[in-house]
Structure 1
Amino acid sequence: MDCNCMDSLWPWLPEDIYTKSQYVSDFFIALAYFSIPCELIYFVKKSAVFPYKWVLVQFGAFIVLCGSTHAINMLTMTSHSRTVAFIMIMSKILTAIVSCATAVTLVTIIPDLLSVKTRELFLKNKADELDREMGLIRTQAEAVQHVRMLTHEIRFTLVRDTILNTTLVELGKALALEECALWMPSRDGLELHLCRTLGSTNPGRVTVPVHHPSIQPVFCTHRARNIPATSPVAAIRPRAGKYLPGEVVAVRVPLLHVENFNISYWPEGGDVPYALLVLMLPSDSARTWHLHELELVEAVAGQVAVALSHAAILEESIRQRDTLIAQNVKLDASKREAEMALRSRNDFLAVMDREMRTPMSTIIAASSHLQDTSLSQEQRAMVDTILNSSNLLATLINDVLDVSRLEDGSLELEKRTFNLPATFREVLNLVKPVASLRKLAISLCLGSELPEFVCGDDKRFVQIALNIVGNAVKFTKEGSVSITVRLEKPESFQASDYVVPSEKHCYIRVQVQDTGIGVNPQDIPKLFNKFIQAPAVSSRKQVGTGLGLAISKRLVSLMDGNIWFESEGLNRGCTVSYVVRLAIPDAVDQVSYALQQVPPSSSPRTSVTGLRVLVMDANGANRMVTRGLLLRLGCDAFAVGSPRECLQLLAQPGRSFRLVLVDVYMAESDGFEVAVKIQDMFKRHERPLVVALTAAHDRQTSERCSSIGMDGVIFKPISLEKMRSALAQLVDKGSFFDDCYPRKLSS
């Protein structure tokens, strides 16, 4: 079929241009229509979740049919057959059917698509909201991280300045603050002074009353509270200019109670002091305080409070440490001075022990020697007075030296086995003469359960008993004095803190009761003090130094015991009781002690007549007295004043001595060295007995004499009877020595 539509519309155009243009257009349209279904097929194949795949297939068929009509339309541009026209008609019919079906399908799915779009918008809004929430969470996380770093740093250090600086800087970073300040209470707690700010550690002297209305509510709660921007504690930031000032939050920081601390910047006493932490948001922003930010501020305030408290404790500890170091330095210097003073005192006492005893020994020995001469009654009374006064002075010297050794701890108790009942009978025999002169009845009651043998310092034990019994006799004008000794049971001991039950020890209780002058109960605590007597005693002008009870109390303490005084008042008598702990010796020690106490065979008393004795003493008076005593005993005595003379006399041929008495403490020489030289001069079976003469009654002297091999020690002062007894024992010892090692010595 021929078409002549171009002839009447554009007669001036060539017919082939029209045909070619339409042909080319249809070609590209068909090409596009056929490519789109291919892309849809690819999309349907790759998409596993698309809900409308059948719609896409239908829409693809529509596009393919449209493309087919355009492709067939190219064949109708020229002469074509009916078959082409039929195909064209069928294509358009199919295209119409498919297009109508697609249109109807789109009508049914458009509401679903619209609801999907609505959900898409809803999800988009939710996504935006979640993005904002995530941003806020990230901001909070960053703030929490800053707070954790802050907490770690302020807990890591205990320096107050570091804690405060770190707190302000980290809070400023975490919360993007314009200013942050810490206000500390004054000493009286009535004002707050600006301690430091975010930009300055020394902001100057700025104070605010603690009862200011704008900040008073903050101290009433532990929560962070908004305060007016016009509050004086917020006036430290720069002016906001044209912007409104940012919001201000304040929170209290509790401080440690400082009753036991000397902290210069905390108030004294009163309620728990609080510092004030003030935080200000920037003025050029519209930010407000969020709840999580306020919680962070409260948490930081609590951490700062704990850190400041710990820092305060550390500062106080350092201050006390420095104080203790200074005190220790002073104490160390004082200790050295005390030790030097103690050494000086001990040296002084050692010298005085010898120097005071030496003349006293001379006086007592000379008086004793003089008593045995023919004297008139008046002369004998004067000699007796000299001897009694000398003995009293010697006792005083001994007491003073004993007190000194007890106070510095140099006095040590010895341990020897002794007979306990015999010891008390000896004490009774010593005080009986004085009691007889006063016409006092004195009695001794020994408990049947008392052990016969005990181990301890028998000399000090006797000293305690003599002090107590002697006082009872001295301060009793008429009546009686009773001594009761019994074994004390721990459960019945009134001062039970001193009792430690043991099978190897026993507790001996001694009670001395008299009917004497008595003591006021209020004066009893004074009786054990040095050089102090009770007023009732001193008013009667009794002879005494006030050292007996003081020494006895210390000696009883050394024996792990206790002593106490009882009296109902003046003229009602008194009772002194003491308990001491003594060791129980084993069977071997008891047998050894018993053998030592066996008296020698009934032989005549050892005579010292004709005994050749050499005396070496640097003191002329002592030499004279000692030689005089020896001469009165019938000895052949010689005296020298120096070691050189002593050794020369011993070395002379034909001069042999049976006994050499050596003063071991001399001003210009050491008697111990002389004793060693004497022993070296002779063979063992030919040497004389070497005996020490000394006024030092300490154990060290006895031990040293024994260690160098001396044969004995004679303590000054020496009476005639004491010298006779000592020489007799030495002669007996020398006889035993001769039996073992025969030697030729003239007597």
Structure 2
Amino acid sequence: MAKMSTAAVSCATALMLVHIIPDLLSVKIRESFLKSKAEELDRERGLIIKQEETGRHVRMLTHEIRSTIDRHTILKTTLVELGRTLELEECALWMPSQRGPHLQLSHTLNNLIPVGSTVPLNLPLVNEVFNSAEAVKVPHSCPLAKIRPLVSRYVSPEVVAVRVPLLHLSNFHINDWPDQSSKSYAVMVLILNGIRKWRDHELELVEVVADQVAVALSHAAILEESMRARDQLVQQNVALDLARREAEMAICARNDFLAVMNHEMRTPMHATIALCSLLLETELTPDQRSMIETILKSGNLLATLIDDVLDLSKLEDGSLELDTGMFNLQVTFREVVNLVKPIAFVKKLSMTLTLSLDLPVYAAGDEKRLLQIILTVVGNAVKFTKEGYVSIDVSVAKPEYIRDWQSSEFHPLSTDGHFYLQVQVKDSGCGIDPHDIPLLFTKFTESQSASNRHKGGAGLGLAICKRFVNLMGGHIWIESDGQGKGSTFTFIVKLATCNYPNEFPGRSVAGVDRANQIRDNLF
């Protein structure tokens, strides 16, 4: 019975083992799987730690590299920080040289390679480094890593070389580095001591740092060029300011000279004109009278030119001020017509004056300058018209109408107590080419069509009139369809209203003399 019981227990145990053994085997397999997973996680954790360490080193190196804008300081800082972080035996930078197709050693960490050493660019190893964007392991005996004799404890140190793009180099030289194109490279060589080997994350660190150095160098180059351009602009501004002050002094000296000369020339000129006028009242032969009249006309012309030059000098230095006073506006235009009408009668020209109904009788402004503008414009119309007509239309211009018509050049503003006087002088004369119109308001400039004008020429008349009109807050322009089709002179000036004048001053002697001079110069 004991044997049978033992056999039964043995059979039962054997049957149970059939089911337990697979479970034991599966547990063993799972244990191996979990162990391999744990080892893989450890490796990944170590890799993450290395990457974090690499990133920290990169950030630290980037901060140190970009903490300065001096390119030589950037390179020296790079070598020092890489040597401290990677425990390098030597770190060297080879830059392209201007003295031939080779690389020249510019910076070293421990001076184990003599500065100034050169390596030809056509070496296969150099081309391999240039053609690779990654760090390349090179033999320790190659020319790029040929350091001084090693201590006996160093055994075949590992060396890597990486290219550094030279982006936008300008005047970045080793004592005189040449400008390089965007495809030029420098070579950074890093030498470990013989104790350890290069690790992958260290190679990645070297590659990233090389790119950061390239960016920092490009930023420094751009900043240096910007500072250089700023310094040049400052120097140019100083020179321009000095030239401007010298030009202003020269203009002031010229204007003072013109003013003095004009004042000094007026006295003998007026004496000559007065004596010629007295001579004409005596008994003269026809030839003598003709010569005296020619002298008188020439004297009047010269006196007008003297006044124009004096006015121009005052306008240019800003010393001319308008004489504001009340005057009869309608009488002024009638006097202009009375001055010019005899000449128009001699030339058999039809001359008309039209005053609008809303034109004020009295106004306040510079009567003398306004009379000079009107006489110059009307006188030119009579002078350059052989036959036909000359018409003068005077009206009050509405600011809204002017803005719609001349919006690109003149923008008047409506103000209480002022109005805009518009004078339009039309003639059937020789006309003006459209491209010559701007030249008429330029002093001492003759248009191409002036040669077809009778006694044509150019001087200061219209140039001064334009200045006077601008000084009066107005605008002047000319319209013509071409030669032989007449022309239209229009000017607008701003005058003050004067509805109830207490006093109407008579015309000054200077104003009468000026009007007579302009009238005498119409022929």
TM-score, normalising length: structure 1: 0.53
Cα distance in 2, alignment partners of residues 220 and 506 from structure 1: 80
Summarize deviations over 1:554-594 as a string: whole Å, max 9, x none: 3333344443333333322223334x351544xxx542xx2
Question: Which residue is 2:115 aligned to?
Answer: 203
Question: Residue 303 of structure 2: which of 394, 400, 417 is its match?
Answer: 394
Question: Residue 197 of structure 2: which of 253, 268, 287 is its match?
Answer: 287
Question: Which residue is 1:582 aligned to?
Answer: 494
Give 5+ residue unaligned stretches, structure 2: 1-30, 518-523
Question: Which residue is 1:550 aligned to?
Answer: 463
- Tell me: CA distance 1:582–1:299, structure 2 relative to 1, closer, same or farther (3 Å): farther
How many angstroms does 1:595 deviate by? 2.2
Q: What letter corresponds to residue 255 of structure 1 in structure 2?
A: L
Q: What letter corresponds to residue 443 of structure 1 in structure 2?
A: T
2:375 counterpart of 1:463: no
Question: Residue 364 of structure 1: which of 273, 279, 287 is its match?
Answer: 273
- Tell me: CA distance 1:490–1:182, structure 2 relative to 1, closer, same or farther (3 Å): farther
Summarize deviations over 1:633-688 as a string: whole Å, max 9, x none: xxxxxxxxxxxxxxxxxxxxxxxxxxxxxxxxxxxxxxxxxxxxxxxxxxxxxxxx
How many angstroms does 1:356 deviate by? 1.0
Higher relative contact order (CA 8 A, sep 6+): 2
CA contact (8 A) 1:180 1:277 kept: no
Cα distance in 2, alignment partners of residues 389 and 166 from structure 1: 84
Question: Which residue is 1:537 aligned to?
Answer: 450
- Tell me: CA distance 1:139–1:576, structure 2 relative to 1, closer, same or farther (3 Å): closer
- Tell me: CA distance 1:277–1:500, structure 2 relative to 1, closer, same or farther (3 Å): farther
CA contact (8 A) 2:135 2:207 kept: no
2:478 counterpart of 1:569: no
- Tell me: CA distance 1:490–1:187, structure 2 relative to 1, closer, same or farther (3 Å): farther
Question: Residue 341 of structure 1: which of 247, 250, 255 is its match?
Answer: 250
Summarize deviations over 1:156-205 as a string: whole Å, max 9, x none: 32222222211221122112223334455678998765543334699337
Question: Which residue is 1:639 aligned to?
Answer: none
SS at match of 2:352: strand
Cα distance in 2, alignment partners of residues 448 and 562 from structure 1: 23
Question: Which residue is 2:521 aligned to?
Answer: none
CA RMSD in angstroms, aligned pairs only:
4.5
Q: Where in structure 2 are the equivalents of 1:159-170 lying within 5 Å?
A: 159-170=70-81
SS at match of 1:595: coil
Cα distance in 2, alignment partners of residues 581 and 714 from structure 1: 24
How many angstroms does 1:206 deviate by? 3.5
Cα distance in 1, alignment partners of residues 131 and 413 from structure 2: 64
Cα distance in 1, alignment partners of residues 454 and 287 from structure 2: 26
2:177 counterpart of 1:276: no
Cα distance in 1, alignment partners of residues 414 and 187 from structure 2: 68
CA contact (8 A) 1:187 1:266 kept: yes
- Tell me: CA distance 1:526–1:346, structure 2 relative to 1, closer, same or farther (3 Å): closer
SS at match of 1:444: strand
Question: Which residue is 2:340 aligned to?
Answer: 431
How many angstroms does 1:354 deviate by? 1.4
Q: What letter corresponds to residue 157 of structure 1 in structure 2?
A: T
CA contact (8 A) 2:403 2:412 kept: no
How many angstroms does 1:480 deviate by? 1.2
Question: Which residue is 2:15 aligned to?
Answer: none
Q: Where in structure 2 are the equivalents of 1:570-719 lying within 5 Å?
A: 570-578=483-491, 580-585=492-497, 589-591=498-500, 594-597=501-504
- Tell me: CA distance 1:716–1:566, structure 2 relative to 1, closer, same or farther (3 Å): closer
CA contact (8 A) 2:140 2:146 kept: no
- Tell me: CA distance 1:716–1:596, structure 2 relative to 1, closer, same or farther (3 Å): closer
Identity %: 46
Question: Which residue is 2:7 aligned to?
Answer: none
How many angstroms does 1:542 deviate by? 0.8
Cα distance in 2, alignment partners of residues 478 and 714 from structure 1: 33
Cα distance in 2, alignment partners of residues 155 and 495 from structure 1: 55
Higher-Rg member (1/2): 1
Cα distance in 1, alignment partners of residues 430 and 141 from structure 2: 85
2:411 counterpart of 1:499: yes
SS at match of 1:178: strand
Bigger mean CA deviation after superposition, 394-403 or 152-161: 152-161
Cα distance in 2, alignment partners of residues 467 and 159 from structure 1: 68
Cα distance in 1, alignment partners of residues 349 and 221 from structure 2: 74
- Tell me: CA distance 1:150–1:286, structure 2 relative to 1, closer, same or farther (3 Å): closer
- Tell me: CA distance 1:480–1:162, structure 2 relative to 1, closer, same or farther (3 Å): same
TM-score, normalising length: structure 2: 0.73
- Tell me: CA distance 1:300–1:460, structure 2 relative to 1, closer, same or farther (3 Å): farther
Cα distance in 2, alignment partners of residues 519 and 337 from structure 1: 39
Question: Which residue is 2:85 aligned to?
Answer: 174
Give 5+ residue unaligned stretches, structure 1: 1-118, 600-712, 723-747
CA contact (8 A) 2:450 2:456 kept: no
Summarize deviations over 1:457-488 as a string: whole Å, max 9, x none: 33323322222221111111111122334415
- Tell me: CA distance 1:167–1:494, structure 2 relative to 1, closer, same or farther (3 Å): same
SS at match of 2:192: coil
- Tell me: CA distance 1:239–1:455, structure 2 relative to 1, closer, same or farther (3 Å): farther
Cα distance in 1, alignment partners of residues 211 and 413 from structure 2: 58
Cα distance in 2, alignment partners of residues 573 and 352 from structure 1: 39
SS at match of 1:156: coil
CA contact (8 A) 1:184 1:192 kept: yes
CA contact (8 A) 2:157 2:192 kept: yes
Summarize deviations over 1:233-290 as a string: whole Å, max 9, x none: 834545779843513141434624x7xx77775647x6x4554352423252441132
- Tell me: CA distance 1:566–1:158, structure 2 relative to 1, closer, same or farther (3 Å): same
- Tell me: CA distance 1:598–1:506, structure 2 relative to 1, closer, same or farther (3 Å): closer
Question: Which residue is 2:162 aligned to?
Answer: 250
CA contact (8 A) 2:140 2:156 kept: no
Cα distance in 2, alignment partners of residues 205 and 429 from structure 1: 98
Summarize deviations over 1:56-84 as a string: whole Å, max 9, x none: xxxxxxxxxxxxxxxxxxxxxxxxxxxxx
SS at match of 1:483: strand
How many angstroms does 1:312 deviate by? 2.2
Cα distance in 2, alignment partners of residues 475 and 202 from structure 1: 89
